[in-house]
Amino acid sequence: MKKLYRDFQTIYGLNHLCPLCGKVKEVICRTAIGDDLAEDWRLSPELRRAFDYREGCSCRHCGATTRIMNLALTLLEVINLNNSTGYQFAADVDWQSLTALRLAEINNCGVLHDYLGNLAGLSYSEYGSADPAIRSEDLRRLSYEDNCFDIVLTSDVLEHVPDYRLALHEISRVLKPDGVFILTVPWLRHRKTVVKAKIDHQGMVELLSKASYHGDYNLRLTDYLVFYEFGYDFVQDLQNIFAVEIYCHHGFGGLITSVFVCRGRAPGNDLTPGRPRPTALSR
């Protein structure tokens, strides 16, 4: 798996600037992983601190968390590769000029969403949206046509999908042959994936162990129920469909703060895992 890793420091250096707003990175830290979740997830003190870093540390200026900063860095890298540009910050991107770019943001990507809203080719959706202005999409049954997106973005979504493998196939279907799926999930590479819940034959949620929730733990919102605690075998599931790279910082948090970059395999191509493929996006 080591060959799949990309170190952001070799790409961007240590400039200590927020990749979203571009301001000097002054970080506010809070506890994001509650005692109940840490116990449910069987997190060691070190892993709990790492996840607090991922979810609880944010830019004082724009509010982007470590996870969203890393997601933005990865998206910028893909955009720069496809357009021969050198954008370092989301705030500097001329989003309106990317007229050929079709991007699906499936569920809100935090502060990054505010910038993506300037993209003419954005298709934004929230699962179960009651707002008629916001599209609702089920990742297991996307309503989009085949081969229609250059980029699909999800951030900590797949663990809440009852059948994430079906979701991966659906994402592959809607991606163009040279498209890119960029995602984050909470995962622990030293464990095997644990199935926490499933949908039974009557369409009801069946808990296989104590219910675990992400988001506001006290509210116990159904949408935040965890179906999977991802482990090392999740990477193989991705590789069964895509060519995969793992983008990560090699600072505190390590692979826990990583971002997966998945490129579609067109029939008959010779793409090997971990090898970028140029696309036809243009500014």
In whole angstroms, what is the distance from residue 149 CA to residue 152 CA? Answer: 7
Q: Which domains does the chain have, with CATH numbers?
A: 2-264 (3.40.50)
Mean pLDDT check: name the lowest of 32-41, 82-91, 272-281.
272-281
- What pLDDT digit, counting tens, does each position of 130-140 carry? 888 999 999 99
Q: How far apart are CA 158 and CA 216, in angstroms?
A: 18
Orientation of helix 45-56 relative to helix 66-83, angle to 10°: 60
Model pTM score: 0.86
pLDDT tens-digit readout, 80-113? 998 888 999 999 999 999 999 999 999 999 999 9
C-alpha angle 90/104/163, rounded to 5°?
Answer: 125
Of these ranges, 6-20, 164-178, 269-283, the one predicted with the greatest mean pLDDT is 164-178
Residues 246, 74, 29: CA angle, nearest 5 degrees:
95
When computed from its CA atoms, the radius of gyration of the chain, rounded to whole angstroms, is 18
Whole-angstrom Cα distance, residue 257 to residue 70? 7
